[in-house]
Amino acid sequence: MKLLKRISLFEILLITVILSVHLYAATSDAYNFPNKWFTRDDAYYYFKVAQNITEGRGSTFDGVSPTNGYHPLWMLVNIPIFALARFDLILPLRILLIVQAALTAATAILIYRLVKSALSPPVAMVASAWWAFNPYMHSVMTQVGLETGLAAFAVILLIYQLWKFETTWRETPLTLKHVAGLAIVATLTLFSRLDLVFLSVLAGVWIILRGTRLRTLLPLDMLVAVISVLSSFVFRLGLPEYYTYSRAAMVMVALSVTTKIVLYFFLGLYQTSTAESFWVTARKIFIGMTVSTLITSGVMLIVPLGGFPRSALIYDAILNLLGMLSLRWLARVFSQNAGDESISPLEFLKSSWREWGKEGVIFYGILGGALALYMLANKVFIGSAMPVSGQIKHWWSTFSGRAYGGSARNFLSFWGLDFQTDFNTLNPFSKWLGRVAVNLTDMRAIHLTKESSYIVLLVIVFILWLVILLLNRRQAVTIAAQFGLPILLTAGIFQVLSYNLTGYAGIKEWYWITQPILLVLAFSLAAHILIQPLQKYPIVKIATWIIVAAIILPQARSFAVSTIKSMPQKADHSALSAEDMVRFLEENTPPGSMIGMTGGGTTAYFIQGRTIVNLDGLINSPDYFTYMKAGDANTYLKKIGLDYVFANTSMLRGAPYKGQIGIGSVLDQFDGKALMEFIP
């Protein structure tokens, strides 16, 4: 009963719409699930491995080789569901659809409660409804069948817990038990998607360094240092030429971040308040940047790195100086009080290190210990400490071919801002802004390329957002801290760079989870500041609720109609379907055959009496990856007893295969792929 009292009418309506629409979809024709809902091969990698685990084969896709090419928490969710696959292959898909709908509903409710508590109910309703009903968000977070829905829930749960922590720690002393609880939530976030490690780590910084300017400025200073180094390399070399020197860039990033943070700390830049002249702050920044540049340059020139552009050191110094001055100026603009300048950096460190140490041991002991155990188990049982899929995608990026997408090829993609590719972390907002940029360019309303127009529009939107925050500076700073916006921003950019720093192929739209959550919270904050002063007028209050209804109701209706239409009770089977490919292979190969395919997740799940082996390696074993890199995949495939290859022959001739898989003459073809005998 207490739980029912806590659920508001809006939450009940939101849950009802989400679950009822998805319940209808879950009861639709079996044909719809592989052809209209779970249409991505990557989802079936989870489904097939989960099925094999429940049937006693272990963590394997093909039943032959162990694999770890997945995120662990989503696999744990899938395992009990796909235990039912032995009875009916469609039943687990129906259940999973409802599970993902429940995750979407839970995420939307958490967004509603967070924004309502920190801001206002009208803004909270729009934010949560947008998350639940936006077509793009639904396709990526719910419909794709991957870990995104779980990861989004984990991220917003972590932010919600940080909000509760932020609103209580000044009145209630933080206990080590509370720190441990927050560490467990951060750990769950990490295992929901392993590239959320940056957010999980920074959450510890945010908690442990509470009450200091250090917790806000440290992540942002690190971000400025990383951006300035990488921008200097990319500006000097261009893309993809940058990747020739990516190792040197990594070394310079490590040196630059380490030296600058240490120097800035002991120069007092994390204790400085607005009582100090900005010119004094600027002088400290210049000294720190100069000394850091000299140290970094000396090491870079001594260490044998195979060459790197020396001018990058100069570009980095200039960009870092400009970035740090801008950041400290913004910090002064948004600062709420003058603060206390009496404590020196050493005194500050002496007075805090014991408490930081105790809490750090608890938080990072739990987070780091769990990650270490995960890596150890992977190494012992699978043969690779981290998922082999990520290693393979880094390897793919070293090839000039674009069969699997390839690494970032322009500045916007490198920073995750390309609205025309999967390197698009700000979708769907960026898609809309990109269309505006394209239209302005086509109409010649602005004499720039569409990419340049898009950058200009992004900058304008960001400046407008800052101006809106200045309308209520005190509240903006308070809420930004409660939402953890600095660490969300830093973690989101670091996630992008974890892929693009050394190159990564096969980037997908479902990688980006932190970024849309950041946008929802940032735009909610701006909207609240705009409408809050007007709420004292009754007519404006009424108008606000009318606008909220006018935004939410059409979204909900469109969501319901489109979902129901996409999952009919009597489906049209005339189009080419996943079952047709399965039927083709079953008709053209004898029972017991082992068939090699690129991808193959959907086929592996539905095919009967045959085994599908994943040839691209994403859901294969570390051993297979080792053979592939050596150009000797055939030896591995011969060893496991492969019988057939079903693939696009031109793809097998190009990178990364380069003809290393032995194939005979074409036996038959289906949808652009050829079925061939494997030649050992």
- State the pLDDT at residue 275: 66
Percent of the chain with pLDDT over 90: 81
Which tens digit of pLDDT belongs to each residue from 642-675?
Answer: 999 999 998 898 888 988 999 999 999 998 899 9
Residue 197 CA to residue 216 CA, distance in Å, equals 18
Residue 274 pLDDT greater than 70, yes or no: no
Which tens digit of pLDDT belongs to each residue from 477-512?
Answer: 999 999 999 999 999 999 999 999 999 998 999 999
- State the pLDDT at residue 336: 62
Q: How confident is the model at residue 304 (pLDDT cuts 50, 70, 90)?
A: confident
Place of tokens 């600062």: 335
Nearest residue to 61 via CA among 564, 629, 624: 624
Question: Helix 345-381 vs helix 246-266: angle between axes, to the nearest 10 degrees?
Answer: 150
Residue 654 CA to residue 307 CA, distance in Å, equals 30
Residue 597 CA to residue 616 CA, distance in Å, equals 8
Residue 338 pLDDT greater than 50, yes or no: no
Q: Alpha carbon 233 to chain centroid distance?
A: 24
pLDDT average, residue stretch 33-60: 95
Q: Is the dihedral of CA 89, 93, 95, 99 positive or negative?
A: positive
pLDDT average, residue stretch 26-47: 94
Residue 581 CA to residue 598 CA, distance in Å, equals 14
pTM score over 0.85: yes
- For residue 364, the one-letter residue type is Y
Which tens digit of pLDDT belongs to each residue from 537-567?
Answer: 899 899 999 999 999 999 999 999 999 999 9
Residue 448 pLDDT greater than 70, yes or no: yes
Work out the end-to-end distance of the chain between its first and last CA atoms, rounded to an integer number of angstroms: 67
Nearest residue to 254 via CA among 296, 216, 312, 308: 296
Query: If DSSP codes are grouped into helix, strand and coil, which group holds residue 191?
Result: helix
Q: How confident is the model at residue 339 (pLDDT cuts 50, 70, 90)?
A: very low
Residue 582 pLDDT greater than 90, yes or no: yes
- State the pLDDT at residue 399: 87
